């Protein structure tokens, strides 16, 4: 018999499992609104033109090798990534107070940041919004932190439970870590207003709570890279410390290339240097050094004013298509007279709509309409197009009537 005979079958990942189920469905009508990956109006995955151009210029460069990167990754990529999220004129960057390391997309950045905190920070509790991206609690638990929760979403208003958030973070032990979605909260699509962000900042700073930002959708939410970085920049401007996990999966469409960065904004350049030295000790035994290709693409785009501009145009086009799908879905439900208030579809921002549909309604839509989505009622707006949208509207209508 096998030495592994006692290994039990693990459950499928709740998000990635949706695609597994979708792939098994032979129906030509099937629609995958589970995973958060952008699709064109034709339902196809998209490689940005600017990414193709950058790749072409990399291929044509005879000086390029496939040597190892340093443990911290591509230095230019790190600099440009910090600039992108914190702003070119960020005092933290000018004062050399930011330690940035290239990581394996957003997930890897969260994990490396979590491992660093578990080793070097005095408080283990990390407060995570309810609900949140399903991987958050697992990433931080595996890193050695203690996931705790704070109220975030109010199902009755389908909006922010700001009072609950303030109460829970006011009761968190001093010094606790707080995970914040920089913009386009996943799965709810509900973000604090600028005024609420300012109140959150004051609350965190007054109680010495340590912000850990997760930025997986910069530019993808509003179409503007600067606007989507507002919350983060508010916290950097006060001179305090924070962690930032950045992903280029969505905004550059580099999903499978696994490109991201972890930045730790520190009080002084001296601290930042020491922090970086310790980040290397976290990374070296985990995967030695990060991959070269994706970071080279990003650096090529961010360093060139022309390519950068082209990127912002393509990024805005993706964001705008998603926003127009929100409006079309809302209009379709209005036209059908579907019972209930569906205005949250146009109020929520980013890749997802948190529909408010329950598990049974989701199961019904999958069974009867071949529409695949996570069981919490989250749909990826990026997977919608004018062809499959009527089918979704029919399915929602039938599920609630």
Contact residues for ligand PMP (CB under 6 A)?
36, 105-107, 133, 181, 186, 214, 216, 247, 249, 260
- Tell me which of 53, 191, 250, 311 is the catalytic residue: 250
**CB 210 to ligand PMP: min, Å:** 18
What's the maximum distance between 2 C-alpha atoms anywhere in the chain?
64
Is the CB of 13 or the CB of 320 nearer to ligand PMP? 13
Q: How far is the CB of 346 from ligand PMP (least distance, A)?
A: 21
Q: Is 21 exposed, middle or buried (0-12, 13-18, 19+ CB in 10 A)?
A: middle
Report how far residue 226's alpha carbon sits from residue 369's, in angstroms, rounded to the nearest whole number. 39
Tell me phi and psi for residue 216, to 5 degrees: -100, -5
User: Judged by CB, which is closer to ligand PMP: 81, or 332?
Assistant: 81
**90: which residues sit within 8 A by CB, 6+ positions away?**
82, 83, 98, 233, 236
| Active-site annotation holder among 191, 214, 228, 376 | 214
| 347 belongs to the catalytic site | no
Mapped onto helix, strand or coil, the DSSP state of residue 167 is: helix
Which of 33, 399 has the CB closer to ligand PMP?
33
Shortest Å distance, C-beta 133 to ligand PMP: 4
Give the C-alpha separation, 287 to 280, whole Å.
11
Of the two residues 348 and 369, which places its CB atom closer to ligand PMP in the complex? Answer: 348
Beta carbon nearer to ligand PMP, 53 or 111: 111
Respond yes or no: is residue 342 known to be catalytic. Answer: no
Structural contact between residues 16 and 361, judged by C-beta atoms closer than 8 angstroms: no
Residue nearer to ligand PMP on the CB measure, 215 or 399: 215
Minimum separation from the CB atom of position 257 to ligand PMP (A): 10
CB of 292 to ligand PMP, least distance (A): 17
Secondary structure (DSSP) of 87-116: -TT-HHHHTT-EEEEEEEHHHHHHHHHHHH
d(CA 23, CA 158): 31
Nearest approach, Cβ of residue 233 and ligand PMP (Å) = 19
Q: What is the DSSP letter of 175?
A: T
Q: Is 214 considered catalytic here? A: yes
| Catalytic-labelled residue, pool 53, 133, 161, 342 | 133
Radius of gyration of the chain (CA): 21
- In angstroms, the Cα distances linking 375 to 15, 34, 343, 383 are 9, 9, 21, 16
The residues that are catalytic are 133, 214, 250
């Amino acid at each position: 018999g096998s030495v592994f005979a006692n290994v039990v079958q693990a459950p499928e990942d709740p998000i990635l499992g949706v695609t597994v189920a979708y792939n098994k469905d032979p129906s030509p009508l099937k629609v995958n609104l589970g995973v958060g990956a952008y699709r064109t109006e034709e339902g196809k995955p998209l490689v940005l033109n600017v990414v193709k151009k950058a790749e072409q210029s990399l291929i044509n460069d005879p000086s390029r090798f496939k040597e190892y990167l340093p443990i911290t990754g591509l230095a230019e990529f790190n600099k440009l990534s910090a600039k992108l999220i914190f702003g070119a004129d960020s005092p933290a960057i000018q004062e050399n107070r930011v330690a940035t390391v290239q990581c394996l997309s957003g997930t890897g950045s969260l994990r490396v940041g979590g491992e660093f905190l578990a080793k070097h920070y005095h408080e283990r509790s990390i407060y995570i919004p309810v609900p949140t991206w399903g991987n958050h609690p697992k990433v931080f638990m595996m890193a050695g932190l203690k996931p705790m929760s704070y109220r975030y979403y109010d199902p009755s208003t389908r909006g922010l439970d700001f009072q609950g958030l303030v109460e829970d973070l006011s009761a968190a032990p001093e010094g606790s870590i707080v995970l914040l979605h920089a913009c386009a909260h996943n799965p709810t699509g509900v973000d604090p207003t600028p005024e609420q962000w300012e109140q959150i900042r004051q609350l965190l700073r007054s109680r010495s709570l340590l912000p850990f930002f997760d930025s997986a959708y910069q530019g993808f939410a509003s179409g503007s890279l600067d606007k989507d970085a507002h919350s983060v920049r508010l916290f950097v401007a006060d001179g305090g410390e924070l962690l930032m996990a950045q992903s280029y999966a969505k905004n550059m469409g580099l999903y499978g290339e696994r490109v991201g960065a972890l930045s730790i904004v520190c009080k002084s350049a001296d601290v930042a240097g020491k922090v970086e030295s310790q980040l290397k000790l976290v990374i070296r035994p985990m995967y030695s050094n990060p991959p070269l290709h994706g970071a080279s693409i990003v650096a090529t785009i961010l360093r060139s004013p022309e390519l950068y501009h082209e990127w912002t145009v393509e990024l805005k086009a993706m964001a705008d298509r998603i926003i127009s799908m929100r409006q079309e879905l809302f209009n379709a439900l209005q036209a059908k007279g579907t019972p209930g208030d569906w205005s949250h579809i146009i109020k929520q921002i980013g890749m997802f709509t948190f529909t408010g549909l329950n598990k049974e309604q989701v199961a019904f839509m999958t069974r009867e309409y071949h529409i695949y989505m996570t069981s919490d009622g989250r749909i990826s707006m990026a997977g919608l197009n004018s062809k499959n949208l009527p089918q979704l509207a029919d399915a929602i209508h039938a599920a609630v009537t």
